[in-house]
Structure 1
């Protein structure tokens, strides 16, 4: 009996609530479910404020003190129980056969010493906040090389730092500059170079193309793809607004709206045929200049004031009274009225 490969990351029911003064709670992430497999890039997309970066912070244990988490986020290898085979005995469906480290319950000591940089490499959304302002980029890269690879000796460290810079398209003649002497794009490339040094099994890239021109966007995502492809056990979770970058690199796409993952599908189907099935996902694509260039109408809701039913209903031309109830979050599309899949129409079924 064959079993699927263990996941690098397996997220089940991940929720994040912020407790505000007066007892008010803000639901930033609600019941997220997804896996990231070895050799895979999963792109997490959605409008600003939908909870993408909060989800990333939860995985790294970087949430503020007023945050409360639920669910699990197992860092692999994680093997889920296979489907039953005729006459075979397997563990109950959904149970972990080889559970990994739960990032949501791991202590700060474990996260700092064994996870961040070593098992999860982070390309941060705000690189200036992660770069040490009083040290040159070279010294920070050499320190990362020493800590994450065990390299020693001035010559070896210097060469490794320069190789790391080259991978991220960071110019070698800027290595001796301090972070405040860099443009936003160069700071982003420096942060990318630091994240790649440890060759972590999971790379978490939070808006890795911010501040880059189109050529550098393509170079950056191509390097991230090479990072994954160079070792079959690595994976990438990329959070991005840049759908062109997602199309270039992703194997699968997860769409987040108002703290919920509303669609999870293959990238080829999402960007090609039959296209996304959630009306919000389809609206994101149609807003691109090379599509209809039509923006999604209205504005996303505040996470602290979400409706009881579908949060997208006020902006959706497919909404009905049924949408006053919350659509189930199980399955590939969380929608009462998804766009029909041509392959599942009665005509296609009869054919």
Structure 2
């Protein structure tokens, strides 16, 4: 393994995020529980899991975009910046767009409808103080030059995602966070978007893609992290995890893929406001409960890690 692969661009340790509901009595929603992650330059990490497991909350915590009702614990660092403890000015001037580029789900999340794409990209570059030429930026993400003269409502889904990636790269960040970047796209555009994100990783960036699309993750990911009910249940090199999943939940996700049986996992994930103690998957899967150690803590085995280590393997 090379030095590029072992160096860490963003480190997360023991991250907890919970949301306060109501006042009397106060109830808490545990959205992220005890998460450890390392994003490494030159690699794309896909964070996968069913909707509602806490994946998107993770990116909001890392970029300081959580609502006031959120409470965080743990450590998250990019460069010399403590992301969880940084004030808004530091996040705005040193992190968002500079250290960390954000790729959203749709153009509507980051584009003004009354201005052309080109004018908005040029403004983004000026704001970030970067010398990047917008035409060069467009070429890097395979955005046709004619698209720079279009308004957001004139963009196709795939073109809009390329604009989003261009905006995220405008400040030449070392880390890219992409939250469901293929949502609403057909399969060829999903593949193209994932290929562009993988290319950005191969340029030396650390890329985190949050997705519920395992086919997309399998296509592009170097590393895989599987999340269930606020917790990571398995991590490791993507090719190894897909070839030999250790956790019952990971096996269930893969079995639900077309070509792998197309068999959905029975039942539904628990509500984050009412998570059970111990392993949250055992209450959904009798087969898993029969072998589960009921310990949701990840245990490392070399480059791989798994929860419920005794039974899942």
Question: Mind listing any 5+ residue stretches in structure 2 that lack a counterpart?
Answer: none
Deviates more, 1:255-264 or 1:3-12: 3-12
Instruction: Specify the alignment match of 1:347 in structure 2.
Output: none
Please state how far the C-alpha of 1:209 moved relative to its aligned partner: 1.6
Matches within 5 A, 1:24-43: 24-43=27-46
* Correspondence 1:51 to 2:22: no
2:279 is aligned, of 302, 310, 313, to 310
* Correspondence 1:73 to 2:76: yes
Instruction: Specify the alignment match of 1:116 in structure 2.
Output: 96
Please state how far the C-alpha of 1:323 moved relative to its aligned partner: 5.2
Where 2:98 maps in the other structure, the secondary structure is: coil
Instruction: Specify the alignment match of 2:14 in structure 1.
Output: 13
Where 1:248 maps in the other structure, the secondary structure is: helix
For the residues of structure 2 that align with 1:336 and 1:227, how far apart are their CA atoms? 34
For the residues of structure 2 that align with 1:150 and 1:38, how far apart are their CA atoms? 21
Instruction: Specify the alignment match of 2:266 in structure 1.
Output: 297
1:144-169 CA distance string (max 9 Å, x none):
22233533xxxxx8xx3233334334
Deviates more, 1:173-182 or 1:282-291: 173-182
Instruction: Specify the alignment match of 1:254 in structure 2.
Output: 225
Please state how far the C-alpha of 1:325 moved relative to its aligned partner: 4.3
1:242 is aligned, of 191, 202, 213, to 213
Please state how far the C-alpha of 1:247 moved relative to its aligned partner: 1.4
For the residues of structure 1 that align with 2:208 and 2:235, how far apart are their CA atoms? 13
1:79-99 CA distance string (max 9 Å, x none):
xxxxxxxxxxxxxxxxxxxxx
For the residues of structure 2 that align with 1:230 and 1:189, how far apart are their CA atoms? 17
* Correspondence 1:129 to 2:109: yes
Deviates more, 1:131-140 or 1:46-55: 131-140
Where 2:263 maps in the other structure, the secondary structure is: coil
Where 2:32 maps in the other structure, the secondary structure is: strand
For the residues of structure 2 that align with 1:57 and 1:321, how far apart are their CA atoms? 36
1:164 is aligned, of 137, 141, 157, to 137
Where 1:314 maps in the other structure, the secondary structure is: coil
1:165-206 CA distance string (max 9 Å, x none):
343343433322332343444433321221122221001111
For the residues of structure 2 that align with 1:211 and 1:10, how far apart are their CA atoms? 30
Where 1:227 maps in the other structure, the secondary structure is: helix
For the residues of structure 2 that align with 1:38 and 1:270, how far apart are their CA atoms? 20
Q: What TM-score results when the alignment is normalised by the length of structure 2?
A: 0.89
Number of residue pairs matched by the alignment = 305
For the residues of structure 1 that align with 2:92 and 2:114, how far apart are their CA atoms? 22
1:279 is aligned, of 221, 235, 248, to 248
Please state how far the C-alpha of 1:326 moved relative to its aligned partner: 4.0
Instruction: Specify the alignment match of 2:241 in structure 1.
Output: 270
For the residues of structure 1 that align with 2:172 and 2:253, how far apart are their CA atoms? 33
RMSD: 2.3
Q: What TM-score results when the alignment is normalised by the length of structure 1?
A: 0.80
Please state how far the C-alpha of 1:9 moved relative to its aligned partner: 0.7
Please state how far the C-alpha of 1:107 moved relative to its aligned partner: 0.7
* Correspondence 1:288 to 2:288: no
For the residues of structure 1 that align with 2:83 and 2:176, how far apart are their CA atoms? 15
For the residues of structure 1 that align with 2:211 and 2:296, how far apart are their CA atoms? 25
Matches within 5 A, 1:88-103: 100-103=80-83
Please state how far the C-alpha of 1:5 moved relative to its aligned partner: 4.6
For the residues of structure 2 that align with 1:57 and 1:149, how far apart are their CA atoms? 24
- Provide closer, same or farther for how the CA distance between residues 229 and 323 of structure 1 changes in structure 2, counting only shifts above 3 A: closer
Where 2:272 maps in the other structure, the secondary structure is: coil
- Provide closer, same or farther for how the CA distance between residues 320 and 295 of structure 1 changes in structure 2, counting only shifts above 3 A: closer
